[in-house]
Amino acid sequence: MWPAPVSAPIFHSPYPVNLDLRGRRVLVVGGGPVGARKAEGLVRAGAVVTVVAPTAVAEIARNPDVRWHQREYCRGEVASYRIAITATDDPVVNAQVARDGDAANVLVNSADDPANCSFILPSVVTRRDLQIAISTNGRSPALARWARRRLEAIFTDVHGQLLDLLSDVRDEARNALGTSELPGWDDVIDDYLIELLADGQLDAARQRVRATLGLQGVTP
């Protein structure tokens, strides 16, 4: 992190990534509603989630996929995890976790406390495997939430189905031709294709994609 005036971004051009946390140990410090939301999202990502907090809401205490240590955070324990998220209202705890993370090369996010973050979490629109992330560089969570709501109205479950279809046809091309790099991909997606999927005409949509890519004579 770099010193900056209040009006300037806290992070300089943050590098956007999607982390594969399947089977990775992740720590959440804080057992309130915010901590519960963070833990739930991490569980969905396949992480092995541990929550450290003296008290915890039912969503944490009764969640079989979350290990809850009913105690205060212990200095240095973040070193045992791949990443950590603090969700407390105690700036002293947040700062301690951040310092421990820096010392152990563990990435730390602190909810609503960007000064103690080494990474920030975007607002995300999820439609199956389609994810659209919105970030304001930590400057305005309200704007990120507004943008997410707008995108949620534009991108529906049909777009998740579209992704599944395009992935299937891409696999067909790769298996039959040895490559999926075909001319025509940029012409595949249009409003009519999405209308076919919205009407439940999956076969017609598939044939339209294959025809655009020149795969009519290729056995799936």
The CATH number of the domain covering residues in 25-121: 3.40.50.720
Phi-psi region of 68 (alpha: psi -120 to 50; beta: other; left: phi over 0): beta
Q: How many CA atoms lie within 13 A of 47 on its CB side?
A: 25
Amino acid present at 75: R
E-state strands within the chain = 25-29, 48-52, 66-69, 83-86, 107-110, 123-127, 130-134
Q: Where are the domains of the chain?
A: 25-121, 157-212
Strand 123-127 and strand 130-134: pairing?
A: antiparallel
List pLDDT tens digits, range 120-152. Answer: 899 999 999 999 999 988 888 899 999 999 999
Give the pLDDT mean for 13-29: 93
Identify the top-confidence range among 3-7, 93-97, 173-177: 93-97
pLDDT for position 137:
84
pTM of the predicted model, to two decimals?
Answer: 0.82
Bridge partners of 124, per DSSP, are 133
What digits encode the pLDDT tens for the residues 78-92? Answer: 999 999 999 999 999
The percentage of residues in the chain with a pLDDT greater than 70, rounded to a whole number, is 93
Query: Rounded mean pLDDT of the chain?
Result: 92
DSSP element (H, E) containing 145: helix 141-154
Tell me: the pLDDT tens digits for 195-211? Answer: 999 999 999 999 999 99
At 14 the pLDDT is: 83
pLDDT bin (cut points 50, 70, 90) of residue 1 is: very low
State the pLDDT at residue 9. 42
Q: Say which residue, 136 or 10, is predicted with more confidence.
A: 136
pLDDT in tens, 42-64: 999 999 999 999 999 999 999 99
Least confident range of 29-38, 129-138, 159-168: 129-138
